[in-house]
Amino acid sequence: PHAAIGPVLIEALPYIRKFEGKTFVIKYGGAAMKDACLKNSFAQNVTLLRKVGIRIVLVHGGGDAITKTAEKLGITSRFLHGRRVTDKEMISVIQMTLAGKVNQDIVQLISEHGGKAVGVTGLDADTIKALPHPNAETLGLVGEVEQINTAYIDLLCRAGLIPVIAPIGFDDKGNVYNINADDAASSIAIALKAEKLIYVSDVEGIHVGERILKTICKTEAADFIEQGIISGGMIPKVLSAFKTLDSGVGKIHLIDGKATHSLLLEIFTHEGVGTQFIAEQDSDQSQNR
Amino acid sequence: PHAAIGPVLIEALPYIRKFEGKTFVIKYGGAAMKDACLKNSFAQNVTLLRKVGIRIVLVHGGGDAITKTAEKLGITSRFLHGRRVTDKEMISVIQMTLAGKVNQDIVQLISEHGGKAVGVTGLDADTIKALPHPNAETLGLVGEVEQINTAYIDLLCRAGLIPVIAPIGFDDKGNVYNINADDAASSIAIALKAEKLIYVSDVEGIHVGERILKTICKTEAADFIEQGIISGGMIPKVLSAFKTLDSGVGKIHLIDGKATHSLLLEIFTHEGVGTQFIAEQDSDQSQNR
Amino acid sequence: PHAAIGPVLIEALPYIRKFEGKTFVIKYGGAAMKDACLKNSFAQNVTLLRKVGIRIVLVHGGGDAITKTAEKLGITSRFLHGRRVTDKEMISVIQMTLAGKVNQDIVQLISEHGGKAVGVTGLDADTIKALPHPNAETLGLVGEVEQINTAYIDLLCRAGLIPVIAPIGFDDKGNVYNINADDAASSIAIALKAEKLIYVSDVEGIHVGERILKTICKTEAADFIEQGIISGGMIPKVLSAFKTLDSGVGKIHLIDGKATHSLLLEIFTHEGVGTQFIAEQDSDQSQNR
Amino acid sequence: PHAAIGPVLIEALPYIRKFEGKTFVIKYGGAAMKDACLKNSFAQNVTLLRKVGIRIVLVHGGGDAITKTAEKLGITSRFLHGRRVTDKEMISVIQMTLAGKVNQDIVQLISEHGGKAVGVTGLDADTIKALPHPNAETLGLVGEVEQINTAYIDLLCRAGLIPVIAPIGFDDKGNVYNINADDAASSIAIALKAEKLIYVSDVEGIHVGERILKTICKTEAADFIEQGIISGGMIPKVLSAFKTLDSGVGKIHLIDGKATHSLLLEIFTHEGVGTQFIAEQDSDQSQNR
Amino acid sequence: PHAAIGPVLIEALPYIRKFEGKTFVIKYGGAAMKDACLKNSFAQNVTLLRKVGIRIVLVHGGGDAITKTAEKLGITSRFLHGRRVTDKEMISVIQMTLAGKVNQDIVQLISEHGGKAVGVTGLDADTIKALPHPNAETLGLVGEVEQINTAYIDLLCRAGLIPVIAPIGFDDKGNVYNINADDAASSIAIALKAEKLIYVSDVEGIHVGERILKTICKTEAADFIEQGIISGGMIPKVLSAFKTLDSGVGKIHLIDGKATHSLLLEIFTHEGVGTQFIAEQDSDQSQNR
Amino acid sequence: PHAAIGPVLIEALPYIRKFEGKTFVIKYGGAAMKDACLKNSFAQNVTLLRKVGIRIVLVHGGGDAITKTAEKLGITSRFLHGRRVTDKEMISVIQMTLAGKVNQDIVQLISEHGGKAVGVTGLDADTIKALPHPNAETLGLVGEVEQINTAYIDLLCRAGLIPVIAPIGFDDKGNVYNINADDAASSIAIALKAEKLIYVSDVEGIHVGERILKTICKTEAADFIEQGIISGGMIPKVLSAFKTLDSGVGKIHLIDGKATHSLLLEIFTHEGVGTQFIAEQDSDQSQNR
């Protein structure tokens, strides 16, 4: 095994210097947020990344937990085009569940692995200012990000803390909004000029047949969509990733939360394990992570 | 009216310089947390204090709100010697209600008055480490403060933010604890070496007959207790205040949240409106606020 | 009385933050410089302003004192168009009286009220460079400000000291000049980019009939002059104030030194007590001080 | 002449590094303050010393000028044991003459040679706090130094300015005092922990017969006094110098203001031109300046 | 292979944070300094260590090269008890060969791998002050370290440079000395309070039969010597290592320069590849590197 | 002699302030590098200059020493157009002699006079990147400066150290080059934006008949060349000096290393001893050093 260690380190160590002080926004969801074993592995990896000097910002959702709490309170969840219909009562359930419970469980989990995390909602220090969703009439208090005030997140990152962000927004009229976690993560990554935005979910990456693409650029993506290789619900995700890239985020990664240590492998090996989205297929960007 | 303004300013202005950069811990409760008008006045005052450079740390409870949420979920609240019996299910209700709702409502209220507040629980950045209550067998997850890690609160204060703290603690075994808000406020004030710990409640101060004492020292308090002038539930409160004073907090104040601007009057006039607790009746400390 | 205090503070406190670190140049003259009681009140106010973090720069005259010293030395004072005819002998009398006596008396007065003041003449650190007056042939060593070197005044202000400036200038040929105190104050305020230039004199403000104008803008002033409402010796004063405003000073104030605490009232209330000169009647500037 | 320059520089240059940032207090008096040519040479030297980084603090007297002004005002000067009897009227004359005229003339002189000087009296920033002289009953407002507040002088020195100090003191009761300039210089040198205190006067140094002593230590001085070699008015001067030395000033120098450039020669040559007072005759201190 | 990478990184990454900013002194010798392939691997590893923030100080010998140059110049090399007899002519040969050639070849090698190295001799900035060897009479200009002046090495390390040190010393009489490279490395490590002193040579570590000891403490070493398990020339090396440890160096390592990447493996794995010397067998120090 | 000292200091002292923190590059060669007495005087002067705060960078050659070492090794030196033909063997001899011996002797000499010098070659920290000479085919490893990386020299200068630079360069292909010392000094002076580049050699300056020119400007030089007053080998030297001047070096000086203290006299007197090259004959630059 020793024979392997040398090359692994030779490969990994330069990334540490490269990424030191850089910001990674991680959208945390899927199995990695449910399975006890994967949760621990994720928390361990995140803590390690923070300890080698990478600024980690977590964004989480929690739809299932919200539905469960609502049920217990005798409230039925309704969805339109994948967005939860959110009245005054439901936004309270969301605040209680996301900010009060799901968020704090992640904070506690990271603390158990030796990291220092801090729960954040969009209301704290006016962090996420929101607009009503275009379909607000039917969806109610569903919002979209109007502006991310990065001062507070920056403060936490500079202090070595890990912000764990629940995607709840506010507006000047005293309303609280339910915001899609993927969108919030993207907006935060753009506002922070993040080096990477990493989606940890149950999706392994972009498939082309059996193969997972290591790297995909804009032109390739357009071709794959035209050829039907990328299709269905994956299309908006891919388009959104390139939009985020265009807005100044270094790279977007899609990795499989079901594989242990996938986060480390994606970051510290040239090959990676998931798919990274880059602007163009030039040698520098595409040959490494 | 102009004739009055000069002297008011002559009296108030020196306090600003005196308190600039100092820390005030405010335990927020009672009518000031329920009445819409008083809530606004409180949020305005707190924002103003922060803007003239005083470091404000709020600690809040929320027993009524917890009981209400529990009820909706079909859970009965039980109390022993004034402490809520707290099982696993109840601690979840407490987290959701305190951290998810009550806390965020205060954050939002301050934001509406132009301040920048941040919701904090004892789990965030390992801020409140707890021990089980001596009667843990019957009370369950009721805890006492073992240690306050001030680094995170300090960070927020230095950044001009107002930490709004929900009194929830953690231990190394992964337990979450329900902590008494008055005790949490006192421990936090001690750990921060606060200039003042101010209890905003429905109590006007220490009464001697009709009169509210402006200032009370240790010896006087002992006499009043012996003479039965201070009695009943007030005795432990008074003793606890002097204990906090002995642990390094500058002054303890008891003020009436039902009176508009009572916070400003207590801080910026020689007379004040409530009762301040001081170690000894020497001229300097007792003659002003 | 308590009922009044809250609103007074709510009104005054934001000004402190607004003016912290800002520079106020105060031209000190009239009754406030002669009456023992008013002198003390002025020194107290000035000390207080400095203690809440406002940079105070005083400029004083002293014509009466100069005339008296001259008399004792058997020298007759002569004036042309309000300027003192100043030969070599007279400039010595001016230096001795202004820099040696009047200036030091103000320094001592402020010291007695707990402030730290420092006597400054235009010769110190080359602070006031002067040109001969256009009528130098008849007036002699009467000068006009050519340049204010702010380095020394800045140094004093940053150190929390109050510069008390005697309006004496120098040129490269070794001449010393007698400079009008109002003009010196204006030049200093411009050079320091002062937030306010406040004339404390025996004039209550700009009168329109019985009423003192709280605020006057350029257009209004032009109208009043045309209508003869502002007339006589007031016209050049008003024109000069607007010229100073145009040169970058925030606001000019004319206040009555005969009223106790007029300085505090002018600065810390929305209404003020004298007249403030502003560029235009927009809501922000005109509604407050 | 070139042959000489090398060795002169080899000798002088190390002193510059040695004295950079150090404080020299110079008591300025005698012919060097009256003769036009010597005044210019002195101002040039002082400016040069400041420009190579030595902190220069000047202290001046002005007895003759005071007597002259008093005369013009019809006031007779009286002296007791060499101290001027000083009533209220006389202290005004002293303030006007010293602070208003003599001091400002020195400031102007230095300015003409390219230096930046600042006039200072003991009243400015509470710099010289005074006590009444033991013979106050007969002497009136003659004072002794109670305390030197160095903050203001330090501020000026750090800013590259040359404080020119008129020896006038104050007390808490609002009195102003006339202080002996030699004593003021010594107290200031002690308070500033000066590297050197240099008396520029009409005395060439300590004579032993025809010879001027380059260096004198405490033991030698005692011997010379016992042997009558040092005698008369020189005895208190010598004793006072050693007392100042004991209070922490590095060296005391007595140099002849009548010789051009004597200040530079005393500071930048091993031999010097006057007499230096040192604690003991060890090689390091006695062999150089 | 991916399966291995996760654990390797989990193991290695914490060492990076642990060692960031710490100083490693590496004695470079043996095959790693001769074989082209090993030279490159060594230079690559050293550059990598420096890039992840470890302060690297190299010390090298060069006996063979010296002997070769001497031969070409027709000078015979003589040795007594393993030390080279060094006359004036030989010390010139040593300076030329070590400082001029061997040292510069290492600097160039590191430069080719992207590091920035700097050649240093003990004469540069008075870095290595030497004493004559006890057998100076027969050995000539062979010296021992009297003092290491660390200022220059510290300067280079803080600037991210790698000092490459040729073990040549000086004394106050103008002599230059030939110093044993192992001794120089040890003295430098002590003076720098190094975290580690690593001997890269042809020795694999301390053998006990077939097995290489991962860790050895003082008591064990004493036992092994008594039992004859450690014997011969290894005894003084082991004793010297513990002496260095006692003088404040964190750990001493003996690693095999013949194995590729042995430096990385020794530093970034719990097991290591060579032998580390520690004070006592407590869990923390002995279980990891 | 005292009479002379004053004016010498008045002349010299301002130069110290003027040159403090400025960089002087000194090309060291000729008699001043061979004669024991001149060597000591040079080292003393250089140390003194560094101690009064001037950043000194030395560049040296060593052709004679190289030829001698080569001879001893049985290698014949060959020259073409004044450049040494340099094969692989010869470059080793150059490295050994220049970097190992000549350079270290200068370092040691300065150390003996109390300075702190550091040997530097172009290989250290990639300081001198070289290109092959246009005549590389016949000259071999003779190089020209491609780029000076000033970071390392700057680091040394800021730390108060004196870099002593051997003119050896490197390229990216692993070649080492022999570079002309005059050219290296010029390139280094340009890269450092040096205040002065001083050639210490056996040339006294530019002669016009018997007279040495104190100052020469571009136009004058052109005239002298046209008139044949400057001729032969001096022409390229003069042209090169003006080219260096055009590239941003303040002044170029040619001084006689055979005269004791010539370095100090050139720098600290208006007249100087050698010839200075300036762009134009305006009063400021030409009247002083």
Say whether pLDDT at D80 is over 60.
yes
Contact by Cβ (8 Å): A113, A41? no
On the 0-12 / 13-18 / 19+ scale of CB atoms within 10 A, B236 is: exposed
Nearest to A199 by CA among A55, A29, A11, A17: A29
Distance of alpha carbon E77 from alpha carbon E68, whole angstroms? 9
Q: Is chain A adjacent to chain E, meaning 3+ CB pairs within 8 angstroms?
A: yes
- Active-site option among B29, B62, B63, B250: B63
On the 0-12 / 13-18 / 19+ scale of CB atoms within 10 A, B280 is: exposed
**E265 touching A (Cβ < 8 Å):** yes
Most C CBs within 10 Å: which of D56, D92, D104, as the mutation test of the C interface? D104
B-C CB pairs within 8 A amount to 80
The token pair at F20 is 């403090």
Mean pLDDT of E7-29: 93
Which residues have a Cβ under 8 Å from the Cβ of E210 and sit 6 or more positions away?
none
pLDDT at B2: 67
Sign of CA dihedral A148, A153, A154, A157: negative
Say whether pLDDT at E282 is over 90.
no
Say whether pLDDT at C272 is over 70.
yes
Say whether pLDDT at E242 is over 90.
yes
Q: Measured between CA atoms, how close is B44 to chain A, in angstroms? A: 16
pLDDT band at D278 (very low <50, low <70, confident <90, very high): very high
pLDDT band at E2 (very low <50, low <70, confident <90, very high): low
Say whether pLDDT at F284 is over 80.
no
Range in B9-13, B196-200, D21-25 with the lowest mean pLDDT: B9-13
HEC-encoded secondary structure of chain D: CHHHHHHHHHHHHHHHHHHCCCEEEEEECHHHHCCHHHHHHHHHHHHHHHHCCCEEEEEECCHHHHHHHHHHCCCCCCEECCEECECHHHHHHHHHHHHHHHHHHHHHHHHHCCCCEEEEECCHHHCEEEEECCCHHHHECEEEEEEECCHHHHHHHHCCCEEEEECEEECCCCCEEEECHHHHHHHHHHHCCCCEEEEEECCCCCEECCEECCEEEHHHHHHHHHCCCCCCCHHHHHHHHHHHHHCCCCEEEEEECCCCCHHHHHHHCCCCCCEEEECCCCHHHHHCC
**C69 touching D (Cβ < 8 Å):** yes
Q: Looking at the DSSP assignment, which residues form a beta bridge with residue F23?
A: F55
Most A CBs within 10 Å: which of B96, B121, B127, B171, as the mutation test of the A interface? B96
Distance of alpha carbon E203 from alpha carbon E197, whole angstroms? 15
**E174 touching F (Cβ < 8 Å):** yes
Q: Which residue of D has its CA nearest to F19?
A: D52
Q: Which residues of B240-267 are buried (b: 16+ CB within 10 A; e: fewer)?
A: ebbebbeeebbbbbbbbbbbbbbbbbbb
Say whether pLDDT at E1 is over 80.
no
How confident is the prediction for chain C on average, in pLDDT?
94
User: Which residues in chain E are closer than 8 Å to A1, comparing Cβ atoms?
Assistant: 4
Distances (CA, A) of E173 to B138, E85, E170, F104, F160: 84, 20, 8, 15, 24
Secondary structure class of C118 (helix, strand, coil): strand
pTM of the predicted protein model: 0.85
State whether E8 and A10 contact (CB < 8 Å). Answer: no
pLDDT at D2: 67
pLDDT at C283: 63
Clarify whether E237 is annotated catalytic.
Answer: yes
Say whether pLDDT at B157 is over 80.
yes
Mean pLDDT of C187-216: 95
Range in B185-189, C162-166, E81-85 with the lowest mean pLDDT: E81-85
Mean pLDDT of E230-257: 95
**B100 touching A (Cβ < 8 Å):** yes
| pLDDT per position as a tens digit, A58-75 | 999 999 999 999 999 999
Clarify whether C51 is annotated catalytic.
Answer: no
Say whether pLDDT at A280 is over 60.
yes
Say whether pLDDT at F1 is over 60.
no
State whether F273 and D51 contact (CB < 8 Å). Answer: no
Q: Is chain D adjacent to chain F, meaning 3+ CB pairs within 8 angstroms?
A: yes
Q: Measured between CA atoms, how close is E128 to chain A, in angstroms? A: 33
pLDDT at B285: 78
Query: In 10 A of CB F123, how many CB atoms?
Result: 27
State whether F48 and D5 contact (CB < 8 Å). Answer: no
Clarify whether E30 is annotated catalytic.
Answer: yes
**A104 touching B (Cβ < 8 Å):** yes
Most A CBs within 10 Å: which of B50, B102, B123, as the mutation test of the A interface? B123
| pLDDT per position as a tens digit, B135-144 | 999 999 999 9
pLDDT at F283: 63
pLDDT band at A289 (very low <50, low <70, confident <90, very high): confident
How confident is the prediction for chain E on average, in pLDDT?
94
State whether D5 and F6 contact (CB < 8 Å). Answer: no
Strand ranges for C72-141 from DSSP E: 79-80, 83-84, 117-121, 128-132
Say whether pLDDT at A283 is over 80.
no
Per DSSP, the residues of E123-149 read TGGG-EEEEE-TTHHHHBSEEEEEEE-
Percent of chain C residues past pLDDT 90, beyond the cut? 89
pLDDT at A3: 76
Nearest to D86 by CA among D99, D72, D75, D102: D75
A: neighbours with 3+ CB pairs under 8 Å? B, E
Mean pLDDT of C212-233: 94
Q: Measured between CA atoms, how close is D271 to chain F, in angstroms? A: 10
| pLDDT per position as a tens digit, A127-185 | 999 999 999 999 999 999 999 999 999 999 999 999 999 999 999 999 999 999 999 99
B: neighbours with 3+ CB pairs under 8 Å? A, C
Q: Measured between CA atoms, how close is F98 to chain E, in angstroms? A: 7
C: neighbours with 3+ CB pairs under 8 Å? B, D
| pLDDT per position as a tens digit, F101-138 | 999 999 999 999 999 999 999 999 999 999 999 999 99
Strand ranges for F91-237 from DSSP E: 117-121, 128-132, 142-148, 162-166, 168-170, 176-179, 196-201, 207-208, 211-212, 215-217
Q: Which residue of E has its CA nearest to A272?
A: E2
State whether C9 and B264 contact (CB < 8 Å). Answer: yes
- Containing H/E element for F158? helix F151-158
Most D CBs within 10 Å: which of F5, F56, F261, as the mutation test of the D interface? F5
- Active-site option among B29, B30, B62, B205: B30
Clarify whether C193 is annotated catalytic.
Answer: no
State whether D117 and C125 contact (CB < 8 Å). Answer: yes
In this prediction, the answer to ipTM > 0.90 reads: no
User: Which residues in chain C are closer than 8 Å to B268, comparing Cβ atoms?
Assistant: 5, 9
pLDDT at E75: 96
pLDDT at D209: 87
Distances (CA, A) of B4 to B48, C5, C182: 21, 9, 31
User: Which residues in chain B are closer than 8 Å to C2, comparing Cβ atoms?
Assistant: 265, 269, 273
Which stretches of chain E are DSSP H helices?
2-19, 36-51, 63-72, 88-94, 103-112, 136-139, 151-158, 181-191, 218-226, 234-246, 262-268, 283-287
pLDDT band at D283 (very low <50, low <70, confident <90, very high): low
Contact by Cβ (8 Å): C79, C47? no
| pLDDT per position as a tens digit, F40-85 | 999 999 999 999 999 999 999 999 999 999 999 999 999 998 899 9
Q: Which residue of F has its CA nearest to E97?
A: F96
| pLDDT per position as a tens digit, E41-57 | 999 999 999 999 999 99
Backbone angles phi, psi at B260, to 5 degrees: -60, 140
- Active-site option among C129, C218, C237, C258: C237
Q: Which residue of E has its CA nearest to F105?
A: E123
Clarify whether C35 is annotated catalytic.
Answer: no
pLDDT band at E3 (very low <50, low <70, confident <90, very high): confident
pLDDT at D288: 85
pLDDT at F23: 98
pLDDT at C288: 85
**F42 touching E (Cβ < 8 Å):** no
pLDDT at E284: 72
pLDDT at B283: 63
Q: Measured between CA atoms, how close is E57 to chain F, in angstroms? A: 14
Say whether pLDDT at B1 is over 60.
no
| pLDDT per position as a tens digit, E157-207 | 999 999 999 999 999 999 999 999 999 999 999 999 999 999 999 999 999
pLDDT band at A253 (very low <50, low <70, confident <90, very high): very high
Say whether pLDDT at D242 is over 80.
yes
